[in-house]
Chains A and B, each alone.
Chain A
Amino acid sequence: MSKKKDFVKFDKVDKSYDGKVLVVKDLNLDIEEGEFVTMLGPSGSGKTTCLMMLAGFETPTNGEIYLDKNPISNIPPHKRGIGMVFQNYALFPHMTVFENLAFPLKVRKMSQVEIEKKVDKALSMVSLGGFANRMPGQLSGGQQQRVAVARALVFDPSVVLMDEPLGALDKNLRESMQYEIKHIHESIGVTVVYVTHDQGEALTMSNRIAVFNDGKVQQLSSPDKLYEEPVNSFVAEFIGENNTFGGEVSEISNGTCRVKLENGEIIANPISVKSVGEKTTVSIRPERALINPKDKMDNNQKGKIEEVIYHGDHTRVRLNLLGNSEFILKVPNSSQNLDIKLGNEINIGWNSHDARALDPK
């Protein structure tokens, strides 16, 4: 089965609410059939607006959205056949769980037998088999969430949109629901467009993540690439933890560059710098820098421990390194005592490949 590469396609989409400010700027985004794509970004970055345009509740100011090659800007929401899970679930409070799930099937004029079959299947998919006759008000938040997911899937839509669906749940429930939604997606192969501001959620669930900021997609790639290889300093900052150094490129040659800092120099991987003299921000993930490295690493610096925070499975160490007093290290607690004591000077090393010289902040 060949999957359509651009099943959902945003083509040069602009959106403005007041004619003055663009909340979505020149958005181009292709989503593959059966893919789980997350739109991730801080609030006000335009991700929910994109979702609403796809659902049909907002119209693009410019550009066009294609669903399976058909332009959909002029199709009203109820004819798009897109399932949606809302932030506050939006279950119909006056209907039982069964009636809620039967609603999309009834408006499609399905027979009673077929409706019952489909609703049963959808409810068992979210493991709520015995809850058909409850009212939404009698369910816990997690159960309501599952009903909302089941309702968005019960009529076999080609695309399901989820607008921060786990925002109102507590941490443990949220995590288990993440896996549950992921597994449902894997088992039925529906295309999912998911909006969240929680990067953990995005990294856990998605095939690809579109990081939004300021109305634009900053980077669209798989979770591991997004984390390991951020293309700009916003993505590097927004996803995971990050140590940064601001400096100027002093030398650049086959795959490495030297960056001159205020008090020191580091060797880095030039990602978005092209020439000597450019300003840059160097980004290093906390777990890529090691204490007393055994292997030879091309960056070796001495840092002073300023703070040690115990986190159970690991210890966070804050250092003052090359004038940056916010340099964070994560030390797994299984490793031997590496002389991590407040005020100690320790050796820190990392590979130049992991120090990414990105655009200046």
Chain B
Amino acid sequence: MSSETGKILTTDGIPLEESLKQSEKKNKIKAFLLVAPLLLFLIITYMIPIGDMFSRSIDDKMVTNMLPKTYKAMENWDGKELPPEEVFEAFYLDYKILVKNKTAGKLQTQLNYEKNGFKSVLKKLARKQKKFEEGNYKEQIMKVHKRWRNVEYWRAIKRRAPSYTYSKYLKGIDMYSNEDGKIVQVSEDRRIHRILWIRTVEVAFFVTLFCFLMAYPIAHLLATLPMKYSNLLMICVLLPFWTSLLVRTASWMILLQQQGIVNDFFVWIGLVADDNRPEMMYNKTGTYVAMTQILLPFMVLPLYSVMKTISPSLMRAGKSLGATPATAFFKVYFPLTIPGIGAGCLLVFILAIGYYITPALVGGASGTLISNQIAYHMKSTLDWSFASAMGLMLLTGVLVIYWIYNKLVGVDNIKLG
């Protein structure tokens, strides 16, 4: 016993801790090399794109880069009154280069976002500036259009000075920062994103609920039926999994459309009149039906794997102790399936909240979700920074849900199989 040093030595006299580290080192390196490809893959395909998305969503360098001299000159301007001569001169010089390079249009668009009516003013300046004489640019520019005398327009330019902005995020929740720099809501008729966010959460919630209600009995049956039948049922559950998502969605279109099979059947059994067929597609109903069917296996499988581990003798024990079948179910069986319910609900909810193809095809106008809006900005308006901002908001939302969920249920309680 080397009680003086407090350290245990090996027979060779090396401290035990060091010796242990030495012997573990090789294993650690081996383990790291084994996971290295995955780590690299995750970094390239996951971390970098998210990082790029984030920088794109807050990037506002375009205007900053187009007016370098102006912003340098504006540094000392307090924005209360019209800027001094240097600012006018710097702006004239910057703008001249832009006109020469034929990139003035972009500046016009960007500044017009900031202040309505800026475009025409700038266009006029582009025409007139060719005849400008050297010196006293303030007078010359103000002569071009009377709006140049309005300090508001100069403030609008100054607002775009920082190379980073959170305005896209504000836009994602139908807000913007106004001329005074205050964050306010957009006018009521233009609040479209908030509706979409709420609808997305609502659809995801109800799809999760429907999936749960339908999957619970199926999973229970799967877990308790004899092997022979449960295998067949399992195939029925998994069969949609092996079919293309697009095909499944398209078949729902065939089933649900107004002249479709389900409507034909309703008419045939006399449930609805032929000229009064209900619309089951291109609205929320279609989205609910198709998404529930498509996401059902994600609920069934975790539930099944948990139920499989619950011994049937527990229910018997409950009954033999005097509990009615219903009490035994709710007091004994149900609590034991909570890890499966948690896993299934989390899985379905997160998948549903970012669902794209199905709502795009069967959702119509009232059944599209936030992901469709993101895709719209990616493909049609080409406002990638806005799409990135909304994508990140969606991601943050999912992470928040995961966090809340972890607080409520505990992620270590989840069982996926």
- Which A residues fall within an 8 A CB radius of B? 55-57, 76-84, 86-88, 90-94, 103-104, 107-108, 151-152, 155, 161
Contacts and interface: CB of A to CB of B under 8 A. Distances in A.
23 contacts: A55-B316, A55-B320, A56-B320, A76-B319, A77-B320, A78-B320, A78-B322, A78-B324, A79-B322, A86-B313, A86-B317, A88-B313, A90-B311, A90-B314, A103-B318, A103-B331, A107-B321, A107-B323, A107-B324, A107-B327, A107-B331, A155-B322, A161-B320
B374 to A, nearest CB: 41
A161 B320 CA distance: 10
Interface of B: 311, 313-314, 316-325, 327-328, 331-332, 335-336
B320 A88 contact: no
Contacts of B325: 76, 78
Contacts of B314: 90, 92
B108 to A, nearest CB: 66
Contacts of B320: 55-56, 77-78, 80, 82-84, 152, 161
Given A90-B311, A107-B323, A107-B327, A77 B317 contact: no
Contacts of B321: 78, 83, 103-104, 107, 151-152, 155
Contacts of A152: 320-321
Contacts of B328: 78
A104 B313 contact: no
A84 B317 contact: yes
A78 B329 CA distance: 13
Contact of A81 (B316, B322, B327, B332): B322
Contacts of B327: 107
Contacts of B332: 92
Contacts of B313: 86-88, 90
Most chain B CB inside 10 Å of its own CB: which residue of A76, A77, A83: A77
A161 B327 CA distance: 22
Contacts of A92: 314, 317-318, 332
B335 A104 contact: no
Most chain A CB inside 10 Å of its own CB: which residue of B317, B323, B328: B317
Minimum-distance CB pairs A-B, first 3: A104-B321, A90-B317, A84-B320
A104 B322 contact: yes
Nearest to B332: A92
A57 B335 CA distance: 23
Most chain B CB inside 10 Å of its own CB: which residue of A83, A94, A151: A94
A93 B322 contact: no
A92 B313 CA distance: 10
A77 B322 CA distance: 7
Nearest to A92: B332
Nearest to B327: A107
Nearest to B317: A90
B311 A94 contact: no
A94 B317 contact: no
A88 B323 contact: no
B309 to A, nearest CB: 10
Nearest to A78: B319
A84 to B, nearest CB: 4
Contacts of B311: 88, 90
